[in-house]
Structures are given as structure tokens and as C-alpha cells.
Amino acid sequence: MSVPADATTALREKFPQVSPRASLDHPAVNVPAADVVAVLKYLRDEFAFDLLTDLTAIDWAEGATPQFTVVYHLLSTTRHVYLRVAADCTDNVAPAVPSVVELWPGANWHEREAFDMFGIQFTGHPDLRRILMWDGYPYHPLRKEFPLAGIETVLPDAEISEETKTKVIAAPMVGGPFVASSGEMSMTEAEPAAKDESWSERREKPE
């Protein structure tokens, strides 16, 4: 079901800076980053988009303008319609958008993941820290420049002794992308395997 015309029309009338966004599935709009909170609050309160189903980001690659876009997927559980809202980060060096945790508490972990994986700041977030990688990890693994095979990085590990307090790993996608064979086979053979096993082979060789 499409978003009711009254919602999109009213949205454009109240926020002239909102523009249509090309989409192959659900209706979508572009919103300036500075207006994200006001627009999303309006959609929540006036048109019953009561559920933030997902919040993620896109890295269009270094050199693109903008390089980063934050994407919000909204659902009205009463109207049974979806709407996608996209906000471009105006600063490629320090990308940022306002936090929407006050609108949907569930945005907390979504924003932390986007911060962790893309390096996007969510201003006003109550506890913006990494959620998958460890504190102090120097990279953002879902950025386009991050290699699929990972980057060898010193990993602090409190579970091992002081004498061997750190170890080197390639995180987080060693050897990816991962593929599984097709056709009839045992479950063991169906386990996904990395296309690039060179890192594992190097690590297994005796020093």
C-alpha cells in the first residue's frame, strides 16, 4: 500500500525543503539534515508513522558530494504503510545528523551502529559509543575504503594474560566476501567460505 497522498502533500506544504526521492519499492523523500527531527516528529504525530523499523547509512565513496547519507525506514502500524526518509550529511570529513532517540528510543542502537560502522555523529545522542567494534578501534568497517579482507589491528583482549595482552587480527571481514556452494550437498559443505583465504594461510604458516 502506498503512503496516502494527504501525508506526502501535507509534508511538502509544511516543509518545502523536502523533495521526492527515487525509489523502486516504497515512497521516499529527501530531507535536509537540519530538519530531520522536525520532519520525522511531524510524520510520527500527524500521520501515525509510529515505528522506526530501521536506520542505516550509505557511503557513496570518497570524493562524492555528499559522501554519506543517513536513511530512516518508517512504518505506520495503523495505516500499514512504509516511508523512507533520507538525509545527506553536508560535511564529508565529520558527517553528522541530529539524533532521533527522543522520538523513537529504539533508534539508540541503530545510531550507535551507524556511528561505529560509518563514523557518522548523531548529535544529541545520550550515549554515542561503538556497539560492535571495541573502543579505540581506528576504522569504520562499512566505509567504502575499508578492504573486504580487513586491516590487521592490535586487539586489546582482557581475557588473556598480561604477557600476551594484545594480538593482531584482521577485522572484521577476513577474506570476504563469503560464498556457499549451490546444489545438493551436506550441511558441512554448505558452510560459507571466504573467497580469499590468503590471510588464514599466512597466519597458519610457522614463523
pLDDT number for residue 205: 55
pLDDT number for residue 95: 97
Q: What is the pLDDT of residues 150-165, one digit of tens each?
A: 888 877 766 544 555 5
Q: What is the mean pLDDT of the chain?
A: 83
Per-residue confidence at 16, pLDDT binned at 50, 70, 90?
very high
Strand partners, 169: 153
Per-residue confidence at 142, pLDDT binned at 50, 70, 90?
very high
Q: What is the pLDDT of residues 83-130, one digit of tens each?
A: 999 999 999 999 999 999 999 999 999 999 999 999 999 999 999 999
pLDDT number for residue 88: 98
Instruction: Return the residue matching grid coordinates 554515542.
Output: 128
Instruction: Return the residue matching grid coordinates 501535507.
Output: 10
> Under the phi-then-psi rule, with left for phi > 0, alpha for psi from -120 to 50, and beta for the rest, what region is 46?
alpha
pLDDT number for residue 200: 53
- Helix, coil or strand: residue 73: strand
Please tell me the pTM assigned to this model: 0.77
Q: What gap in Å lies between CA 76 and CA 92, rounded to an integer?
A: 32
Q: What gap in Å lies between CA 100 and CA 167, rounded to an integer?
A: 37
Q: What gap in Å lies between CA 115 and CA 16, rounded to an integer?
A: 29
What structural domains does the chain harbor?
5-123 (3.30.460.80), 151-204 (no CATH)
